[in-house]
Each structure stands twice: as C-alpha cells, then as structure tokens.
Structure 1
Amino acid sequence: MGSTRITKVAIFLILVGAIWALNFNKIEGRLTTMTTSRSSQPGRSLLQAVNVSEPLRHSDDTVRVDPLDNFKKYRGGYDITNKHYWSSTIFTGIHGYAIGVLWLFCGLVYGGFLLATTFCCQNNNRKLKKTSPCQEQCYLWPTILATFITVLAIVATGLVLGGNARFHSKAKTVVNIVIDTANEASETIYNTTGAMKDMSVNLEVSNNGSSQASGFLTSTSQKLDSQAADIQRQAKKNRHAIDNGLRIVYIVTIVTISFNLVAVLVLTAFGILRLRRALKVFIGLCWLLTVLCWLFFGMYFFLEKFEGDTCTALEDFQKDPYNSSLSSILPCNELLSAKSVLSDVSAGIYDLVNEVNTNISTTYPDLIQVCNPFSAPPEYRYQPNNCPDNTIKIAEIPQALKWFTCSDESTGPCVGGLFSANEFRTVEGYTNSIQKILNAYPGMEDLVECQSVEDAFSEILHRHCKPLKRYTRMVWAPLSFLSIIMVALVLIWTVESHHMQEHHFSDGSVKPRSTAAEITEASIAKETKDDSFPNSVV
C-alpha cells in the first residue's frame, strides 16, 4: 500500500513540469495579443518598443539659448536624444569659450604687430635710448608681482589637478553602476531562458508535454537570448566609449595643466634672468595655454550643468518611473505591460502546487506536501522562505525521492525501488528547471517593474549626484581663477619684455648705465674742442 502511495506521489511530481509548461499556451496568446496591438513590425525588440509613443515629460524650468535654432530659447527639458538639448547645454559654457577665442584673437593681433615692427622698423630699434633713472626700481615691482602671481598659479594648478582626479573617479563609479545594471538585466534574462530551455528538453524527452508547449519555450527563449545579447553588446559598447571619453578628458586636462605649470615657472625664471628672446617664446606659449584654460573652464562648467539636469531627471524618475524625462531612453512603460504575463506565470505555479497538494491530501493525507513559493491571490508574492515545517521545497524534491529510486547499475526489474532511474531523472529535470525559473523570478520581477533601474538611479541620486557636481565645480572654479592669473601673468611679462627691449637688455646681460653717460660726456667734450680749435689757431 505504501509503495502505491509514493508511486502516485511521484506521478504527481512528474506532471508538475508538464502542467506548468502547458500554461505557457495562455501566456503565448497574451504575448501575441500585446505584440499585434502595439506594432505590425515582426521581431520588434521590447527595448526598442519605446519609440511607439511619445513619452510624457515633466515640465521643467530649463530655458537656454540654442545656437542651432537661431539662438532661440530651448524649452524642451532634459532629453539626451535631442540635439537641441545638447547644443543649448553645451552653450552654457559660452563664457569660457568666448573669452578663450577673444584671447586667441588678441594674441594673433599682437603677434602680427610684433612681426610688422620687427621687419619694418629695424633701423629705429637699433637707436640707443637714454636709460631711465628709475630703471632698477621700475623692474623690481613687476618682478615681485609676477612671482606672487606665479605662486598663485601653482596653488590653482594643484586645485585643478586634485578636483579633476576626484571628478574622474566619481564619474567612473556612476558609469559602472549604470553599465552593471544593464549587465545584471541581461544575466537575469539568460538565467530565465536557461531554465526554459531545460524545460523544453525535458518535455521532448519525457513526452509528457505537447510539442506546441516545447516549441513555444524554445522560440521564446531564443528571442529573450537575443534581447539579452543586445543588452550586453550595447552595454559593452557604451562602457568602452564612455571609458575612453573620460580617460581622454582626464589625460588631456592633466597633461595641459601640468605643462601649463611648467611653462609658467620657466616664463617667470626667464623674466627674472632678463632673457628677452626666450621670454618672448614662452610668452607666446603661455598665451596659447591660457586659451586652453579658458576652453576647459567652459567645458567643465557645461558638464556641471548637464550633471544637474541628469540629477533632476533622476528625481523625477524616482517620483514616477513611467512618466519622466528619462522615458525616451528607458522602456519602463513597455516593461510594465509585461507584468501581467509575469503575474500569469506566478498564478500558474501557485495553482499548480495547490493542485498537487490537494491531490496528495485527498489521496494520502499522511504524506508531506510541497511548499508553495507564492502567496495567495491577488498578490502572488514570491516568498520562497516562508514554508511551513511540514512542507518540502521544490528544489528538495529530487533529494527526497532519491532514496526510493533504483540505481543505474540495476539489471532486470527494479526490486525495492518505487520508480526507475529514468523516471527519477525526469522528475529531477523538471524540478531543477522550475527551481531555476524561481531563482530568476526576483530578478525578472525587478526587471519588469523597472526596480533594478530604479535602485541604480536611487544609488546615484543619493550617493553620487552631489559629490559629482561638487568635484566638477572643484575643477572649473580653480580653472577660471587659473585662467585669470594666466592673463595677468602674460600681460605683466609682455610689458616687461617691451621695457627690456626699449632699454637694450641683451640676452644674459644689461647695458651698463655708465655707457650712456660716457657717450654724453665724450660728445660734450668733442663739441667744446671743436669750438675752441679756431681760437687756438688764431
């Protein structure tokens, strides 16, 4: 009698996979209805379905000049797919761009003036001029001022380099969070499709399920695999592109600012040593570096504005994931529509386990029952650890039945075992497949409800938004200060270079002040001699 009871229990367990797979026929119908009602394009990706309808956007206070629209005001809000948003946001750094271009224009004009005076006025430059009595005193104060400004440039350079390192580190952290979320989503899909493939194989081997259910599982898993592969491919591509962009910005900023510091120190050294030709060369070099400093200031200022817009969009997403300014790039609306399909799966497993337990209770009330991993309707919440003491989890079924199974080494009829090794492998295959799906269920639920994306954005919003904006400000604020210092320093040494040229400073030497006096005295003596010569003759 006991043997008959356990055999029937085994039959119930074998039917678990088949009945669950048959429930996919209803799910397939729902998927077909959803697909045909939304788009007539076959094979359309769920992640691309967001383009079907224009997402609703929250109104914001973003009003910026758009240079691509005849400098009209852009009021379209945060939308990284819109070129007008990018142009208006990049244009926020116009102060740095404009000053940099203006400074470059002034440098070109000044360079042209120097070339003109060099080739056209060489004879005038050769004339000796009388040395000013305040020459040494007039040279001392600009040198002290230039030295003080150089010290300020060193401090500003340190602040820029430190802020840039922190900005780069924090930006990489944010990018890694977003990309890792995409990778986790694809991994969740792979886990689910793996379980579906196992279930399909078990149906074909055991012939307990219809070929239609097996074919549906196979085709659905292939489509989902394609989706997961596309997510991984895009994530890898975006990670590579963003990492390269951040690395280039970081390296270019470090190299430029470090080279600028070296040029400033050499410029000041040449100015103090009164090396006029070398001083002119480094004045031109520092002039160009000043242009770059202003351009970098504008770029980092724009980045802070973009970060502020992004953080505001994340706040909107936290309030309403299905109607935010990020809806143009996140398919939460479409994923939400698949929630009913996932609910059907939950209800199917719940009803199936209850059916098995009902049959066990009716026929064999003393036998242990299977733990239902889902709560009662209408919630159908997944709660795998909320099992009564007198139940067994689905994953533990093969281990419990192993003791009543004939081994593969048995020859002839199975004596003492309740079912054969092939029957046990069938039960084991079904239970393992169902358990894999149950293991992937929380991830699929988070994915359908956009919970994984919401968690990632919540982490960025509450832990990284403010530090990222602060570190960006720690770059552009010292950059603006450094740019102003560079302008002042270049102007000081430009004036001093003209002062040196007017008083005939040579490279590495200074015309003695007594030379002009001796020339004057000799000239007076000669004139006196010439005037007295006729009288002596007479």
Structure 2
Amino acid sequence: MAIFFTLLAITACGLVLGANAKFHSRAKTMIDIIIDTADEASYTIYNTTGAMKDMNANLREVGGNYESTQFLTTTSQRLDIQAADIQRQASKNRRAIDNGLRIVYIVTTVTISLTLTSAIVLLAVGVLKLRKPLQALIVLCWIFTIFCWLFFGIYFFLQNFAGDTCTALESFQQNPYNNSLSSILPCDELLSAKSVLSDISAGVYDLVNEVNQNISTSYGNIVQICNPFSRPPFYDYQPRNCSAASVKIGDIPQVLRMLACPDSEGSTCNGGILIPANYYNTVQAYSTSIQTLLNVYPNMERLVECQTVSDAFSDILNNHCKPLKRYVRMVWRSLVFLSVVMVALVVVWITGTYHEQNLHSLGSSIKPSSYDVGSLELGTVKSIVDDSKPI
C-alpha cells in the first residue's frame, strides 16, 4: 500500500511541476506582450516629439514664425510627459509582476521537489525499518502536505485572476478608453494627441497646396509636390495615392538642388533657377522636418487610435488566454491530487508504524524474563528430588 501511494505521489509531483512550468512560461509571455506594447507606445511618442523638436530647431534657424515654433514646443513637451508616465508605469508593473511570478514559481518548484524527495526517502526508510528517521519523515511529509493545500489555494486564486485579466482584455477591445488596464496603457490620455495629429495633417495639406500653387504661378507646371493627405475634413494619410510625376516631400531637397540655386552662390549655379538663399534654406528645412514627421505619423496614428494596443491584446486573447487558464487549472487540480495522495500516504505510514509498535510491545510483555525462567527450572528440579527420596 505504501509503495502504491508513493508511486501516486511521484506521478502527482511530476504533473504539478510540468503544469507549473507551462503556466509560468505562458504568463510571462502575456505580461511581456502587455509591457512591451506600453514600451513601444512610449517609444513611438518619443520618436514623434523628437521629429517635432528637429522641425522646431530647423524652423528657428531659418526664422520660422513664432506660432509654429511655439506650437511644436508645447506639444512636444506635453507628449514627452505622457511618454515618460507610460514608461514609468510599464517599468513599475513589469518589475512587480515579474517578481511575483518568479517567487511563486520558485517556491512551488522547490516545495514540490522536496515533497517528492521526502516521499521517496520515506519509502526507503520504511522498508529499512529505521524507526526514528521514519517518524521524522512522517512529520516532514505532513508539513509538505499542508504546503500543498496552501499552494492549491494560491493557484486557484491565480486561475480567477487569469480569467479576470482576459475579461479585462475583452473589455478593452470594446472600450479602450475606460477600463481596468488604463493604468498601464492609458488610451484615454493618448486620445488627447489626436488633435495634434489633426493639426499636423491639416497644416501639411494646406502647406503643400500653397507651395504647389506658388510653383504653378511663378514657374508653371515645372514640378508638383505630392500631398500625402486626403481632402478635408478627414485628412487621411495616403502617401501612395500620389501620381508618378509628383515629387515626394522627402525628395524635395534633392530636386531643389537640381532645379535651383541659392543666390548666395552667385555665378556658380549652372543652368538652375536662382532664388533667394533664405527661401532656398527655408524650403529645405521645412521639407526635411515635415518628412521626418511623416515617417513617424503612421505609428503615431495607430497609437492614438489604440490600434497598436488592440492588436497586441487580440494576440493575447486568441493565442494565450485559453492555454494560460488551462495550465493554471492543471496546476491546482494536480495539487489537490497530490495533497490527497500525501494525506493517504502519511496515514498509511502512521498506521503501519503504530501497528508495528503494538506488536513490539505485545511481544515484550509475553516473553518471560530470565529470573522467571530460572525460578521455574529450580522449582522443577526440587520437586523431582523430593519425589526421589525414600518414604
């Protein structure tokens, strides 16, 4: 019977260790996706504010108007604060969750491993009938059994927590601007940046149209700039809808050097249109800065719409939530099985030890002492001698 329950305990320990490793791996993957998405959000914002700061510096060099530079300064500062807050929250939550998962995993693994070792050693000591070590190991196994019941409670709670987390992710899909995950990924705060994107897209659209009109008026249809945004009121970013003959904003500096020269170069301009140096430098500064801003525009747009976050959470819901709940369910069910088996194993050994002690005590009480045996033999001899005397 003891061998049977020991084999069951070994099996149960293996189930707990295997399921716990899978649960820990899946939970860490989910947390990494959530926190990495928050880090990506702050990184995207920093890229946007970096482009704004570069644009602001270029405009100041060429004497850009005060309203534009002030708008870029205040907007970049506000976005930097939001990015820093997201990064700080993500770092704090990652550290806390990682530490919690690591502690639970290590303590569970060590405890179950010691339980497995104790059950095996208990069998060996019981077979060898080493009474004192056997009693100590029985007490130790009973303590580990109590720990198994405690871990069952912990993992049962983790199952509910995992279910609540997946429910929160589903809620986020329906309403990303008001849910329990806003402390990590505050889409409601990022929504304030939508007006910034609208101002940028409207400003670029109007600027490109104005430049194209000035080019047509002054130089004819020598070249047209591609407008990457659609007509108002939507101003959708559509950089691929430009005609093949138009020039992209990022290519303006190269085209400009082919067609024109600043008047500061004097007679060194070979066949190009001579334009004022200030105007030449301004066009280069604007085009370079705007293209830098357009490079980060798609990611920023996805972030403001919370599309980046929504995609990450869809990945979790579709690929990780069900396995996570399945593995944590396997852990606590295996712990219940192990706890019941350990209780039975301890009871079997206690019963066996008690029975053996009773047999030993009974054998000691029945066995006669040497004094009694000697007295009995002496009495028998004396009786024989008396009988042999003549009457």
TM-score w.r.t. structure 2 length? 0.88
CA deviations on 1:338-396 (whole Å, 9 max, x unpaired) are 43442232222222222222333344443221111112223221111221112111111
More helix by share: 2
Matches within 5 A, 1:99-498: 145-207=1-63, 209-324=64-179, 326=181, 330-404=185-259, 413-416=267-270, 417=272, 418-419=274-275, 424-498=280-354
CA distance in 1, matches of 2:200, 2:124: 77
Give the partner amino acid of 2:326: R
Q: What is the Cα deviation at residue 272 of structure 1?
A: 1.3
Instruction: Indicate conservation of the 8 Å contact 1:405/1:421, yes or no.
Output: no
Deviation at 1:411, TM superposition (A): 7.0
Q: Measured at CA, do residues 260 and 166 of structure 1 come closer, stay the same or move farther in structure 2, by a change above 3 Å? A: same
Rounded to whole Å, the distance in 2 between the matches of 1:187 and 1:421 is 36
User: CA separation in 2, counterparts of 1:362 and 1:169?
Assistant: 65
Is it true that 1:519 corresponds to 2:383 in the alignment? no
Determine the C-alpha separation between the residues in 2 that align with 1:216 and 1:344: 10
Tell me, yes or no, if the aligned pair for 1:191 and 1:436 is still in contact at 8 Å: no
When residues 420 and 261 of structure 1 are mapped into structure 2, their CA distance, relative to the original with a 3 A threshold, is farther
**Cα distance in 2 for residues equivalent to 1:375 and 1:191:** 24
Distance 1:326 1:178, change over 3 A: closer
Deviation of the 1:533 alpha carbon: 3.7
> Which deviations, in whole Å up to 9, do the C-alpha atoms of 1:415-459 show, x marking residues without a partner?
325358876554333212111211221222222222222222111
Letter in 2 for 1:379: F
Q: CA deviation at 1:163?
A: 0.8
Give the Å deviation of 1:317: 2.1
Contact 2:169/2:313 (<8 A) preserved: yes
* Pairwise CA distance, 1:158: 1.1
| RMSD of aligned Cα (Å) | 3.0
Task: Deviation per CA, 1:199-245: give whole Å up to 9, x if none.
Answer: 211222111x2234323322332332233223223322322222222
The one-letter amino acid of 1:236's match is S
- Please give the per-residue CA displacement for 1:272-296, whole angstroms capped at 9, x wherever unaligned: 1111100011111111111111111
Going from structure 1 to structure 2, the CA distance change for 1:344 and 1:221 (only over 3 Å counts) comes to closer
Please tell me whether the aligned partners of residues 332 and 448 of structure 1 are also in contact (alpha carbons under 8 angstroms).
yes
Matches of 1:187 and 1:459, distance apart in 2: 21
Residue 524 of structure 1 deviates from its aligned partner by 7.2
Summarize the Cα distance change of 1:225–1:326 in structure 2 as closer, same or farther, 3 Å threshold.
closer
Consecutive unaligned residues in structure 1, runs of 5 or more: 1-144, 506-510
| CA offsets 1:79-113 (integer angstroms, 9 cap, x no match) | xxxxxxxxxxxxxxxxxxxxxxxxxxxxxxxxxxx
How far does the alpha carbon of each residue in 1:161-185 deviate from its partner, in whole angstroms, 9 at most, with x for none? 1111111111111111111111111
Retained in 2: the 8 A contact 1:405–1:420? Answer: no
Letter in 2 for 1:452: T
Q: Decide whether the 8 Å contact of 2:52 with 2:76 is kept in 1.
A: yes
Q: Deviations over 1:15-70 (max 9, x none)?
A: xxxxxxxxxxxxxxxxxxxxxxxxxxxxxxxxxxxxxxxxxxxxxxxxxxxxxxxx
Is the 8 Å Cα contact of residues 276 and 500 (structure 1) preserved in structure 2?
no
Helix, strand or coil for the counterpart of 1:380? coil
Cα deviations by residue, 1:327-348 (Å, 9 ceiling, x for unpaired): 5765334443543442232222
Bigger mean CA deviation after superposition, 163-172 or 345-354: 345-354
Q: What SS does the corresponding residue of 1:264 show, helix, strand or coil?
A: helix
Q: Indicate how the Cα distance of structure 1 residues 259 and 171 shifts in structure 2: closer, same or farther if over 3 A, else same.
A: same
Contact 1:446-1:452 at 8 Å conserved across structures? yes
Are the aligned partners of 1:300 and 1:476 in contact in 2 as well (CA < 8 Å)? yes
Give the Cα separation in 2 of the matches to 1:354 and 1:178: 41
Residue pair 2:79, 2:193 contacting (<8 A) in 1 also: no
CA distance 1:260–1:421, shift in 2 (3 Å): farther
Q: Distance in 2 between matches of 1:453 and 1:244?
A: 24
Q: Is the CA contact 2:59–2:282 (under 8 Å) kept in the aligned structure 1?
A: no
Instruction: Provide the C-alpha distance between the structure 1 equivalents of 2:281 and 2:10, rounded to a whole number of angstroms.
Output: 74
Cα pair distance change 1:213/1:442, threshold 3 Å: same
In the comparison of the two structures, how many residue pairs are matched?
A: 385
> How far apart are 1:319 and its partner, in Å?
2.3
Q: What is the CA-CA distance between 1:523 and the residue it aligns to? A: 4.8
SS at match of 1:237: helix
Q: How many percent of aligned residue pairs carry the same amino acid? A: 60
